[in-house]
Homo-oligomer: A and B are copies of this chain.
Amino acid sequence: MARLPVYLRSLSELATAGSSTTSSDVLAERSGVNAAKVRKDLSYLGTHGTRGVGYDVRHLIFEVSRALGVANTWPVVVCGLGNLGRALANHTGFTERGFPVVAAIDVNPALIGMTVDGVPVHSPDRLADVVADHDVAIGVIATPPGAAQDTADRLVAAGVRSILDFSSTVLSVPDHVEVRAVDLSTELQILGFHLQRDLPADRSPRSLA
């Protein structure tokens, strides 16, 4: 469930703030969702709240962490060292949360063999070796759109089963591979769509109906 990481953040904040116990109301408020949703979500973990009291923060952190597999470490390879790739490779939050960036891939001969922000850079040809050597579990695609599918194919061939795709493309992958796509331009376009909708409606397509 995509909301568990948000709950975990809210719980950590509560723990830091000194709360030892909390309610679905508080958690909902902090996580920006409905209280019933929180309770239902937590019930899937084989829930451990106390009626009339609420949830034990420490225990719930433990439960949610286990559900998310936070104990596990999933090594990440970043493919494409443009602006975004570099920012991602350099992002300290990843390692903290169990997603160390163990290598980067780029076609630029000037970068191959170098170390960028502590991350060794390899040629695409070496991707399979890199994956095998570091037990890479997740591939991040931050290449230009034209190189994205090829990169995905290489990742899949190397045995990677999870891909985070920033490339603004629709990737074709086998069923057993999970892709999550993040497209920054799309996000802005959606915001722009609503901005336009809020204008004195005489151009929006809906208003023609």
A residues engaging B (CB < 8 A)? 2, 4-6, 9-10, 30-32, 44-46, 63, 66-70, 72, 74, 76, 83-84, 86-88, 90-91, 93-94, 97-99, 137-138, 161-164, 168-170, 178, 180, 182-196, 198, 203-206, 208-209
Contacts and interface: CB of A to CB of B under 8 A. Distances in A.
Copy number in this complex?
Answer: 2
B98 A205 contact: no
A24 to B, nearest CB: 15
B185 A5 contact: yes
Nearest first, the 10 A-B pairs at minimum CB distance are: A69-B196, A87-B87, A83-B87, A162-B191, A32-B170, A5-B186, A5-B189, A99-B188, A67-B205, A84-B87
A90 B94 contact: no
A69 B195 contact: yes
A180 B190 CA distance: 9
A206 B208 CA distance: 49
A46 B91 CA distance: 44
B170 A72 contact: no
A189 B68 contact: yes
A182 to B, nearest CB: 6
B94 A185 contact: yes
A67 B193 contact: yes
A138 B178 CA distance: 31
10 contacts: A4-B189, A5-B185, A66-B205, A67-B204, A68-B196, A70-B189, A93-B168, A93-B184, A94-B184, A180-B187
A87 B31 CA distance: 28
